[in-house]
Structure 1
């Protein structure tokens, strides 16, 4: 554990890493129409751009779960950040769809592990009684990326072309990587758990055996299924939302940053208020509010657009519903693994998130088509599928919550005789 001052410095650095990582992902989707115009890409193929990143992040997440814990966190983070910077900068040098996809694959291959390492560092340096607050601080980077980063990236693209945001994020990432290398202490305390207690040698194959045991448990498998369901519901829409509101709903490009500013600010408020709701009502009942809102806005805003419905209201409602569902599930999922399994569980969960996101983005790209007038055709079917996944998440929430309650009770039961004997 670090002292208080060092802990604050580390958390600030980790939050900065998360900000760059999230901004790299989030800015590409609203830049879709700009990329289409600048590189001659069909609007209906934009889902492939987001899907290539998430597919690469998913594959690297599975691989990283086997070896990341065997290296100094600082060194591992430095390598991941440098790779992310190179992949992001390559996006600004893209000349067409193939080169852009290659750049996003490189960024995803390093961005996924960078996120996993960042959260591992938080757990390494903060005691359990402060870890929730620390995680909340670091995850707040999502809101800042939406409120500050995405509008800034859109404005840079409007003034200087789609290449400028890629280079700007790469430059910021290089600065953050340098600060992390200089200011982060060496973090090697976790390495003791991978060594033989008798001779200190590395224990071969132990990570693979532990990983198989984890993913083989029914409750863990059910949890990963719920992760995939929620990601499919969101990422059928997210990669195409910028093109949809501009082409189908007539929202002006110059005001696109306002959507992300309003949506990000609202998400920040939701993240601050959802915690007390979860503590009071539980994950399942809290998630019902998100499911109902998300299903309603998917129907009224995307499946059968209601004339006169404000675009900014559709966008804000979509982000709010998605945020409530995701926060509810993250809270519930944190209770699934044993304390000794949390890092492995989170690594595979991240891989499942990226894989499901990639599948949804690619599926939506195949279902959509660009019409002669610039609108996206096929959004009705994509929205209907997203509604199906959204509604499917509710029984999964309930099932997991009940199974978790049973498991927590069974874990506590052996301690009861000892407590009575004291």
Structure 2
């Protein structure tokens, strides 16, 4: 429930940009920076906060993070103007960046080893469910009523989650935490560094476009606000499929090959989306069907990336695999922040073709990096990396 509320909050703004821009008298590009700033703060704060709060009791830390998140969304719902809403997004990102890693760590500590994978998948499933249900429903609520109502609902759901956690979650031991220096050392591992870089680029390619999905959809298909929610539902359903496909592909051909393939499909989807923006929008049934199909392909490829990425990072001989995996979440949000900012610059002239071309170009760069660094990620059928570990191997593995 907590992950669901955070996942919804992370992406629902994308579908409400036009409403927010109109209400707060800013451009759609300016409204899009609400998404980019949230992602950037999450990316930069998550590893720092994890290191600074390593000695705090886990249950107290989790509840503090969720209460902070609730307060931030309540503030955003009553924000009188753009600066206050931006400040609320920053605080919400701080709470989210603290909550998700802590929640995963608690899940690991209270679950028997033989059921650990399913337990983690259940928590992570909150994020996937947010994409499939929370975002389209939140967007529909925001368009029928107000974007402020959407933030109130997110805050209410998060508050309910905090109450349940306070009552039902037991106290758990505080694990040894990796310091910020340890995390930076892990990030400097050649395989980890290139994996994080390529992942940031791939995410930037997606979010250069997806951050502005509302204006892209309305301009290209001539649908109204309700139609945007429908297309976001298509995105969400395809996201669930993409997660499953990414896992199966990683098991079958190895993490790096699966990631490379997903990025290539992502590039093809963004290229097709660019083609759809070239003719004068007609709003015909055919154009809407094609838009939905291309959007589904992009979503499947996008959501196949995280599973494949975790698989290839886990296969590296890094000194602290758990820390490397936690840094991956930051790399995804960093890519989303950069993509949203660059997409906003491309959208200044109002051209959807410029927007999608920007996402396509970034994805080409990601594909080039993946190809150039393929040797770092193993050659065996299993995709296990063949990198010699650094000299120091005694870093703590508990996140």
TM-score when scaled to structure 2? 0.86
1:369 alignment partner, one of 336, 348, 355: 348
Residue 115 (structure 1) aligns with? 100
CA separation of 1:326 and 1:109: change in aligned 2, threshold 3 A: same
C-alpha distance in structure 1 between counterparts of 2:356 and 2:13, whole Å? 23
Residue 177 (structure 1) aligns with? 162
How far did 1:122 drift?
Answer: 2.0
C-alpha distance in structure 1 between counterparts of 2:185 and 2:60, whole Å? 29
CA separation of 1:137 and 1:120: change in aligned 2, threshold 3 A: same
Structure 1 unaligned runs (5+)? 1-15, 195-205, 412-422
Residue pair 1:77, 1:114 contacting (<8 A) in 2 also? yes
How far did 1:303 drift?
Answer: 5.6
How far did 1:134 drift?
Answer: 2.2
Residue pair 2:62, 2:102 contacting (<8 A) in 1 also? yes
2:192 alignment partner, one of 220, 237, 241: 220
Cα distance per residue 1:384-421 (max 9 Å; x no partner): 3233234235316623422853248999xxxxxxxxxx
Residue 382 (structure 1) aligns with? 358
C-alpha distance in structure 1 between counterparts of 2:327 and 2:122, whole Å? 23
Greater mean deviation of Cα atoms: 399-408 or 326-335: 399-408
Structure 2 unaligned runs (5+)? 280-285, 392-399
Tell whether 2:81 aligns with 1:96.
yes
RMSD: 2.6
Tell whether 2:336 aligns with 1:357.
yes
Residue pair 1:94, 1:100 contacting (<8 A) in 2 also? yes
How far did 1:218 drift?
Answer: 2.1
How far did 1:99 drift?
Answer: 1.9
SS in 2 for 1:179: helix
C-alpha distance in structure 2 between counterparts of 1:288 and 1:57, whole Å? 26
CA separation of 1:218 and 1:377: change in aligned 2, threshold 3 A: closer
C-alpha distance in structure 2 between counterparts of 1:270 and 1:359, whole Å? 23
Cα distance per residue 1:41-91 (max 9 Å; x no partner): 211223311111112212321321312331211100101001111111222
Segments ≥4 residues shifted beyond 3 Å = 303-309, 407-411
2:327 alignment partner, one of 327, 348, 359: 348
Residue 305 (structure 1) aligns with? 277
C-alpha distance in structure 2 between counterparts of 1:389 and 1:80, whole Å? 36
Residue pair 2:40, 2:333 contacting (<8 A) in 1 also? yes
Tell whether 2:397 aligns with 1:405.
no
Greater mean deviation of Cα atoms: 259-268 or 104-113: 259-268
**Larger of the two Rg values belongs to structure:** 1
C-alpha distance in structure 1 between counterparts of 2:338 and 2:265, whole Å? 24
C-alpha distance in structure 2 between counterparts of 1:221 and 1:288, whole Å? 16
Residue pair 2:242, 2:299 contacting (<8 A) in 1 also? no
Residue pair 2:274, 2:357 contacting (<8 A) in 1 also? no
Residue 395 (structure 2) aligns with? none
**Number of matched residues?**
379
Residue 209 (structure 2) aligns with? 237
C-alpha distance in structure 2 between counterparts of 1:86 and 1:382, whole Å? 35
Residue pair 2:191, 2:387 contacting (<8 A) in 1 also? no
Residue pair 1:219, 1:336 contacting (<8 A) in 2 also? yes
CA separation of 1:34 and 1:344: change in aligned 2, threshold 3 A: same
Tell whether 2:32 aligns with 1:47.
yes
In the TM superposition, what are the counterparts of 1:72-221 in structure 2 within 5 Å?
72-190=57-175, 193=176, 207-221=179-193
C-alpha distance in structure 2 between counterparts of 1:337 and 1:138, whole Å? 26
Residue 299 (structure 2) aligns with? 319
Residue pair 1:143, 1:265 contacting (<8 A) in 2 also? no
Tell whether 2:230 aligns with 1:258.
yes
C-alpha distance in structure 2 between counterparts of 1:39 and 1:137, whole Å? 37
Cα distance per residue 1:202-223 (max 9 Å; x no partner): xxxx724433432332222222
How far did 1:244 drift?
Answer: 0.9
Tell whether 2:44 aligns with 1:59.
yes
C-alpha distance in structure 1 between counterparts of 2:181 and 2:140, whole Å? 49
